[in-house]
Structure 1
Amino acid sequence: MKQYRIDGAEVHGISDLYEQFNRELMAEEDWRLGSSLDGFNDILYRVDGEIREGDPATFVWIDHAHSRDALGFDETQRWLHNKLSQPNSFNQQRIHSDLDDLQNGRGKTYFELILEIFADHPLIELQLR
């Protein structure tokens, strides 16, 4: 069984999280995963395929509470504001709506978005420690 390890104590922002993902998931690739939820989701589909071929996988996220804090409201707000600064790349109306939801306590943090992506891959076991 493959075991991927995310060291939550090393996650101080979104880019740190993707450094962890790249270390664990992209070691045999000649390219790196950028800070993209869609890209991360695509990589988990690859892991799903490996599981279906008989190679189970578990993600162990140690010190996830630190990551939850680091990828919380402030970092999510920065991420959304960064998207607003790129009007030709992102749906500005959607980003404004996401930002309003976040600021009004209805939106999801980046950490919660990552957990949702894991939840969309039920073959992959995620252990939060």
Structure 2
Amino acid sequence: MRDATVTTPPILTIIGSAIHDIPSFYAEINRVFMAHEDWKLGQSLDALDDMLRGGYGAARGGGPVILVWQDIDRARSHLGFAATCAFLDAKLQRPDRYDVARIDRQLAELKAGTGQTYFDIILDIIAGHPNIDLVAA
């Protein structure tokens, strides 16, 4: 006889109303994904990508996860054009650490309406992980 037990993927919920800038986005990600870890994810898109890959946190193991993002439009607004410009401008202040020419191109594309916002980049990162089923709410 076959085992009829079906494992339901965990459902994790991002509260978009808690997000009003990039630091608060990472605070929310840490609340959702890193609650049972003894360290917190830094403010890094690369770290977000690594975490979603399943190396640690609630996504550990890379199994399926349902990610419900409440108030996603509010988060989209707060992680949009202004936040992205500020993020890129801050990088320009550190030419010893960042590729200034690349950041200048990103800023020009953003200002021309063809570049990605911080929110767009986050969505691309999530989409790059087929085990994460994003549900906009």
TM-score by length of 2: 0.87
**Shift in Å, 1:50:** 3.5
Match of 1:64 in 2: 72
Q: How many residues align?
A: 125
**Shift in Å, 1:82:** 0.6
Match of 1:106 in 2: 114
**Shift in Å, 1:57:** 1.1
**Shift in Å, 1:84:** 0.6
TM-score by length of 1: 0.92
The answer to whether the Cα contact below 8 Å between 2:62 and 2:131 also exists between their aligned partners in 1 is no
Larger radius of gyration: 2
Report percent identity of matched pairs. 40
The answer to whether the Cα contact below 8 Å between 2:52 and 2:62 also exists between their aligned partners in 1 is no
- Structure with larger RCO (C-alpha < 8 A, sep 6+): 1
The correspondence for 2:85, drawn from 74, 77, 97, is 77
**Shift in Å, 1:117:** 0.2
Q: Runs (4+) of structure 1 moved beyond 4 Å?
A: none
**Shift in Å, 1:29:** 1.5
Structure 2 spans left out of the alignment, 5+ residues: 1-8
The correspondence for 1:40, drawn from 48, 53, 61, is 48
SS in 2 for 1:107: coil
Match of 1:15 in 2: 23
2:96 aligned with 1:96: no
Match of 1:49 in 2: 61
**Shift in Å, 1:32:** 1.1
The answer to whether the Cα contact below 8 Å between 1:48 and 1:121 also exists between their aligned partners in 2 is no
The correspondence for 2:95, drawn from 87, 90, 100, is 87
**Shift in Å, 1:48:** 7.0
Matched letter for residue 61 of structure 2: G
- Deviations along 1:49-100, whole A, 9 cap, x unmatched? 340xxxx311100000000000010000000001111111111111111001
SS in 1 for 2:109: helix
**Shift in Å, 1:31:** 1.5
The answer to whether the Cα contact below 8 Å between 1:48 and 1:124 also exists between their aligned partners in 2 is no
